[in-house]
Structure 1
Amino acid sequence: MKYAEFIIENHKIEFLNSVFGIESVLLNGKMISKKFSFSGIKHKLNLNSENFILKTKYKQFDKREIEIELLKNGKTIEKQIIQADKKQRIYWMLIGTGLGIGAYKLLNFIVGSLN
Structure 2
Amino acid sequence: MKYAEFNIENHKIEFMNSVFGIEKVLLDGKTVSEKFSFSGIKHKLNLNSENFILKSKYKQFDKREIELELVKNGKTIEKQIVQADKKQRIYWMLIGTGLGIGAYELLNLIIESLN
State the match for 2:20 in structure 1.
Answer: 20
What CA deviation, in whole Å up to 9, does each residue of 1:57-81 have, x standing for no partner?
Answer: 1111111100001111111111100
State the match for 1:56 in structure 2.
Answer: 56
Instruction: Please list every run of at least 4 consecutive aligned residues from structure 1 whose deviation after the TM superposition is greater than 3 angstroms.
Output: none
Percent identity at matched positions? 87
What is the root-mean-square deviation of aligned Cα atoms in Å?
A: 0.6
State the match for 1:103 in structure 2.
Answer: 103
1:99 offset after TM fit, Å?
Answer: 0.2
Amino acid aligned to 1:110 = I
Map residues 77-96 of structure 1 onto 2, 5 A cutoff. 77-96=77-96
- Pairs aligned (count): 115
Amino acid aligned to 1:64 = R
1:113 offset after TM fit, Å?
Answer: 1.2
Amino acid aligned to 2:83 = Q
The TM-score, its normalising length taken from structure 1, stands at 0.97
Unmatched 5+ stretches in structure 1: none
